[in-house]
Amino acid sequence: MTDAAIEASQLTKDVFSNFLRKRTCVLQGVSLTVSAGETYGLLGPNGAGKTTTLKLLLGLIKPTSGTLKVLGLAPGTPRLLNRIGFLPENPYFYSHLTGREFLDFVGQLFSMSKSTRLERAAQLLDEVKMTQAADVPMRKYSKGMLQRLGIAQSLMNDPEVIFWDEPMSGLDPIGRRDVRLILHKLKEAGKTIFFNSHLLPDVNEVCDRVGVLNRGELIAEDTIANISANGNYKDLEQFFLEKVEQSNKNSSPSNQNSSLADHSENSK
């Protein structure tokens, strides 16, 4: 499929500090397009603006200027929310609920029938290897277990477009492998996947295309096939480092201040 699932044009996001009485540009003219069925990885150093970009695409914050569409709809609209899934970097859940109860609650938010909720929850708990802990209160879960459950809840409504912010965060090597397997299954099912990550080996394995964000600007985009023809993630690492280093050389002091402001706002 070639239809665009995600479209962003000339996105700019300014942040105003009441304390400093100063406006800072966090994102500067970011434009990108993700085709339906494509897996896109957004890379960048801490403070580059990755989480800000993701929040804009989700409709959690509004752009200062520029346009956004996801599945042809404006981010944040109810019709769109039913068709997307989201995993934040640091998911927070109701700790008194069990994993199964929480997925059932998520299913109710999407008006799923009880039988469908139970079936879907059981399926996802199995996929993220959480069946044995399904009926344990989440306050007893480790960070990795919460991350696995977060992935499950993001897929509860069988979304068309999936947004994940650092999906491998807190996972051990086994967990990272399991998530890669889930990503491959989602790709085979034709899902559109957009995620941020610092783990380049995982990005290299599952992504079709990547973009590099630095100091609020999208400085490079290319396919993994072009960057890493032999499948060696070191090629992607070299691509990333070269683009960021060149961008830093060309940046102005004002852009450097924008990067610091973005890091302060998002710690990302």
Residue-by-residue DSSP string for 142-191? -HHHHHHHHHHHHTTT--SEEEEESTTTT--HHHHHHHHHHHHHHHHTT-
What pLDDT, on the 0 to 100 scale, is given for residue 266? 46
pLDDT under 50: residue ranges of the chain: 1, 254-268
131 DSSP 8-state letter: G
What tokens appear for 22 in the block? Answer: 């100063």
What pLDDT, on the 0 to 100 scale, is given for residue 252? 56
What pLDDT, on the 0 to 100 scale, is given for residue 170? 80
Per the listing, tokens 């993001």 go with 154
- Is the separation of the CB atoms in 81 and 160 below 8 Å? no
137-191 per-position pLDDT tens digit: 999 999 889 999 999 999 999 999 999 999 988 888 998 999 999 999 999 999 9
**Which residue, 10, 12, 11, 15, is CA-closest to 261?**
15
What pLDDT, on the 0 to 100 scale, is given for residue 169? 82
Q: How far apart are CA 5 and CA 38, in angstroms?
A: 9
238 DSSP 8-state letter: H
Q: How far apart are CA 154 and CA 147, in angstroms?
A: 11
Structural domains present in the chain? 4-83+160-266 (3.40.50.300), 91-158 (no CATH)
What pLDDT, on the 0 to 100 scale, is given for residue 260? 42
What pLDDT, on the 0 to 100 scale, is given for residue 24? 79
Distances in whole angstroms, Cα of residue 23 to Cα of each of 18, 178, 229, 263:
9, 43, 43, 15
pTM for the whole thing? 0.88
The CB density around residue 255, as the number of other CB atoms within 10 Å, is 17
Residues ≥6 apart with Cβ < 8 Å to 4? 33, 34, 35, 36, 69
Query: Is residue 244 helix, strand or coil?
Result: helix
- Is the separation of the CB atoms in 12 and 25 below 8 Å? yes
Phi, psi angle pair for 7, to nearest 5°: -135, 125
